[in-house]
Structure 1
Amino acid sequence: MNTATLNTNRLWAYLQLTRPANIVTAWADVLAGIAAAGFAGFDNPLPVAWLLLATTGLYGGGVVFNDVFDAGLDAKERPERPIPSGRATFRGATVLGSVLLTIGVFAAAQVSSLSFSIACGVAAAALLYDAYGKHHTFFGPLNMGICRGGNLLLGVSILSPMLREHWYLALIPITYIAAITAISQGEVHGGKRSTGVVALILMGVVITGLLALGWLNKSYFLAVIPFVILLTWRVLLPFIQAVGEPSAENIRTAVRSGVLSLIVLDATLSCSFAGLPYGLLVLILLPASIILAKLFAVT
């Protein structure tokens, strides 16, 4: 293998660590938060760009450190991953994760001190999850949900005063991610049906909450319904299958569908506050994420 090919493979390995398909779902979180804040991004797109860069760094850094902390375990359970396979070094991954988190916090600081504070909180929550949280049955799902809820509020922080009015929106991605994280605990060796039932109930709560939110903003309620139907189809069916037969393969399918469908969740939220066109704009990210998911691992 020549040097150019070796360098290309190494670069690809580090790119794999950032899970690009998942980063696109993080963009959707921020865009949904911006919609909830009522920010007119077409007049001043710079803060939007800074927040999208911020969430790219925060999410990318968080998932890179996930592999850093799991390097020993992956060597036994998933030796094909970049670090245990030797395609990426432990030190290199640590540097990459640190740089990405720093970029995320720096970019958020360009918007406001509130955005900076939220970004710091998200970075800390991500590292806590990577190092400790994911090993706890209850705290792990909650910890990961807080990361996603904070990411949504990062978008809301584009207009700082709106955070007081819409802080509760973080509960939706917190519950949604808690459901996905709960069921994902069996994606290597298979899971427990009881855990799957809890995850299914949590997902039902999310869908009910989205309908209630759409009803509160009645002018957009009819536009919200198709988004909710799409989310239900994409998420509930794989979850039900995973509960019926909690094999590792079914659980991985449910987790993959749940992660990518975060974009549908965010499109639904966006539609509730900004109408059908904005919701469709966010939904456009779904095909891009699906394509990237065929090239890079999601879980």
Structure 2
Amino acid sequence: MLRPWLELARISNLPTVWTNVTAAWLLAGGAWLPVNAQLGWLLLAGSLLYTGGMILNDAADVQHDREQRKERPIPSGKVSLAAAWTVGLGMMLSGGLIGFLFTSASVPIIGALMLAILFYDLYHKPWPGAVWVMGACRVLLFCMAGSAVIPLLLDAQRTVLACPGYPQTLAMLAHMPPGVWIMGLTLGSYIVGLTMVARMEARGAVTIPLRALFAKGLLYAPALVALYFWLSRANWRLIPLLADFTPLAPLPFILIFIAMVFHATRLMRRGGPAIGRAVGILLAGIAVVDALAVMQVSLSLACGFVLTAPLLRLWQRWIAAT
């Protein structure tokens, strides 16, 4: 009875929500240890929003699945359509309320995230441009977690949050470190590129070369952004002065990510079941994208995120990621 619900929720992707939230929290200046209660609430809120959104995705696609994917939980009768709508909406509302009541996250960002999830669920089949909305969902999740840190930091500094002529929320967002916005947008770009490449390969149709190049460029965007931050911020003088090679530590993370994307895109070209395996690799790679973001703050945690990716691939063998 539980397995159909786990399949509806694409539960094997859920840990990527946790890495998203944690990476944004740290980039915004939040402390990893001791663990702040708000981080726990943000993880729960993000989990409920993601899980509810995935369940609603199947509920909205029921007619298509009855024709093309009869093995899915709703068409097969394992989960009723009414139950899927009820549970999915309940989780979405619960996630939004938790974010609103128990965290300092920006209320407009929470609301925008909920609307983006619902919009994608309802319109991703008829509207090709919905891939951008899917990317926006991850950007908003990232920024929701980052925005929750700002009031805590300002309170600790006893700084009054005020910008003349701007509402309180906009003033709070103005204090968010640029790294949160940049890495959030980079994550969103990766998600858009992943979806575009998968759709192109699955259709097997002739694709405009420039469009294919653009989609693959989005997949490699996290590596390019991480490379820029690494090269511009590393203390290179440590190498010749002290023979300290610590500045080179981020390089393996970038190379791992590039190798992962290269392998997945080559695998996709085989078509058929290989496309699903490649998409699974790229979805697990979201944790590596977060590693590229968090390596600016904690190399040890970045290692943990990278090691999460192969564990997610193992989990995908039990519950499909797509």
TM-score w.r.t. the length of structure 1 is 0.87
- In terms of mean alpha carbon deviation, does 214-223 or 33-42 score higher? 214-223
Match of 1:5 in 2: none
Partner of 2:308: 285
Question: 1:213: how far off?
Answer: 2.3
Poorly superposed stretches of 4+, deviation over 4 Å: 186-189
The corresponding residue for 1:130 is: 121
CA gap of 1:150–1:210, structure 2 versus 1, over 3 A, is: same
Q: How big is the shift at 1:54?
A: 0.9
Moved more, 10-19 or 259-268: 10-19
The 10-residue stretch of structure 1 (205-214 or 102-111) with the greater mean CA deviation from structure 2 = 205-214
**Structure 2 residues without counterparts, runs of 5 or longer:** 151-171, 236-245
Change (3 A) 1:84 1:90: same
Q: In structure 1, how many angstroms separate the alpha carbons of the residues matched to 2:11 and 2:123?
A: 24
2:57 is equivalent to residue 31 of structure 1: no
1:195-248: per-residue Cα shift (whole Å, max 9, x none)? 544321222333212211222332585222111111111122221342x45x24
Can you list the C-alpha shifts for 1:5-63, whole angstroms capped at 9, x where unaligned? xxxxx322112111111111111111110121121132342111001001101111111
Checking the alignment, whether the CA contact within 8 Å between 2:223 and 2:292 is kept in structure 1 is no
Counterpart residue type for residue 58 of structure 1: L
Alignment of 1:189-228 (within 5 A): 189-190=203-204, 192-194=206-208, 196-219=212-235, 222-228=248-254
User: Which amino acid letter does the alignment assign opposite residue 298 of structure 1?
Assistant: A
Amino acid at match of 2:10: R
Once residues 71 and 268 of structure 1 are traced to their aligned partners in structure 2, the CA distance between those partners, rounded to angstroms, is 37
In structure 2, the CA distance between the partners of 1:191 and 1:92, relative to structure 1 (3 Å rule), is farther
Give yes or no for the alignment of 1:168 onto 2:160.
no
Of Structure 1 and Structure 2, which has the larger fraction of its residues in helix?
Answer: 1
> Retained in 1: the 8 A contact 2:105–2:149?
no
Superposed, 1:24-63 pairs within 5 Å as 24-63=15-54
Q: 1:276 is matched with which residue?
A: 299
Secondary structure of the 2:74 match is: helix
The residue identity in structure 1 corresponding to 2:292 is T
User: The residue matched to 2:249 in structure 1 has which SS?
Assistant: helix
Aligned to 1:142: 132
User: Does 1:65 find its partner at 2:53?
Assistant: no
Distance 1:230 1:106 in 2: 38
Q: Counterpart of 2:104?
A: 112
Q: Would you say how many aligned residue pairs link Structure 1 and Structure 2?
A: 285
- The one-letter code of the counterpart of 1:146 is A
Unaligned 5+ runs, structure 1: 1-9
CA distance in 1, matches of 2:267, 2:313: 21
Do residues 12 (structure 1) and 36 (structure 2) align? no
Asked if the contact 1:268–1:279 (Cα under 8 Å) also holds between the matched residues in 2, the reply is: yes
Identity over aligned pairs, percent: 26
Give the partner amino acid of 1:149. V
**d(CA) in 2 for partners of 1:187, 1:127:** 26
| Equivalent position amino acid for 1:173 in 2 | L
* Whole-Å separation in 2 of the counterparts to 1:290 and 1:21: 8
Question: How far apart, in 1, do the equivalents of 2:37 and 2:218 lie?
Answer: 36
Give the direction of change, closer, same or farther, for the CA distance of 1:124–1:61 in structure 2 (3 Å limit): same
Q: Which residue of 2 aligns with 1:265?
A: 289
Residue 121 in 1 paired to residue 134 in 2? no
- What code does the residue aligned with 1:120 have? G
Name the aligned partner's letter for residue 136 of structure 2: I
Larger radius of gyration: 2
Bigger relative contact order, structure 1 or 2 (CA pairs below 8 A, ≥6 apart): 1
**Is the alpha carbon distance of 1:191 and 1:121 closer, same or farther for their aligned partners in structure 2, counting shifts above 3 Å?**
farther
Distance in 2, Cα, partners of 1:82 & 1:179? 28
